[in-house]
Structure 1
Amino acid sequence: MNVTIEWTYKSPKGKETVFRSEELDAAQAIHIAEDLERTGRAKDVKFLDRFDSFWTVKELKGYLKGIETEPHNLTVYFDGGFDLTTKAAGLGCVIYYDQNGKSYRLRRNASVSELISNNEAEYAALHFSLQELELLTVHDLSVRFVGDSRVVINHLSEEWPVIEQNLFSWADRIESKMKQMGIRPEYELVSRKANAEADRLAGQALNGIVITATIEVSKE
């Protein structure tokens, strides 16, 4: 979870002005906010999240404590591949998350049939990612979804309208699932190169290679 810090600074002569920080990891933001408060010159310290909700120091600390044992700080990379000749699709997702003070990477893929286009495979890959999040018992959290499909990212972020009926059905299923799980999505469009891991998993699924793996990763 990332937030910005907003606080009012009071000078020795009593003049006040409001400052806002750059976006920071919530735990780091709390540390800086508490340091600001110790100076005796900062008041009304609060945090603003990406959904324009304000948090006090006490509220944010309580929230982070509450989710410590559950998967959080989630970033999901997804990709779908489609073979026009066989009508087969490969789905891949990579999920990065923190839990109990450690960081993990989950890699999973699957093959499916009865899809009709690469765009539909991309939607199916995102829906597949949601199913994996559900297995991790993710709920009521912000989740960052990263993909290289302009269609999916721009549709779901409401930059583009959904026109094709089959894609509209996928978008509706995805949004309903997110609502059910309490997921607040953040979407990021990246190049195919930046999405290489999910792309490789989708390709492996098309070739009949099944990947299911979770490993601990070091924090940079």
Structure 2
Amino acid sequence: MLNNEALATYVAQQTVNLLPDTVLARAQREIETHLPAALDRLHHLIKHVKMWTPGQFDHLHSTQYCTFLYLLSNEIFTQTGERELPTRLFLLNKAMNAIDLFYEIDMPPVFFIGHSAGIVLAKATYGNYLVLYQNSTVGKNHGHAPRIGEGVIVYPNSAIIGETEIGDHCVLGQGTSVINQKVPTRQFIFNGTGGQALIKPNKQAQLPLEEYFRV
């Protein structure tokens, strides 16, 4: 595990390698300033993810590093309002992990990315204990953004679009699209006929999110 100084150098150098007009010393100084707060947020998240060991961050673990780059870019933007370095970190994350997760988006304190490739997230409302898998999309429609409740699991190739509300503890099956719909709490959502989402109550005593998180 890299110490803070080495980690700041590592991230800054990666940014320079991707975007050669980045000033290394300036990027490194700014990253070092905001790194402790970003790591605090990351370790809070790691503590709650069952498959990860609390207190351990591996910069070579692609999902952990993908999450870290978002948190760092968001922390810098939130604390300073500055956009240049957060934009560069966003582009680095996009190039390395194929995820479109902008630094202005307010992700919840605890979320889990199963595989980052192809994930595209709009500025929407995201509840805590969110699970996202590859090629999942949250998008606006005519200016309306979705609202996603707590403990929602989004399996691969699924989309939540427009004026949609997903209630707490819902599960979107693979390849499901929900567009301008309101889904109650504790539902399984499948791909029905004619492109319409098929919604069935989840009557299981154990919540699916308990597979992923220490809650």
Shorter-chain-normalised TM-score: which range?
A: under 0.3
Greater Rg over alpha carbons, structure: 1
Q: TM-score with structure 2 length normalisation? A: 0.26
Q: Which has the higher contact order (CA 8 A, sep 6+)?
A: 1
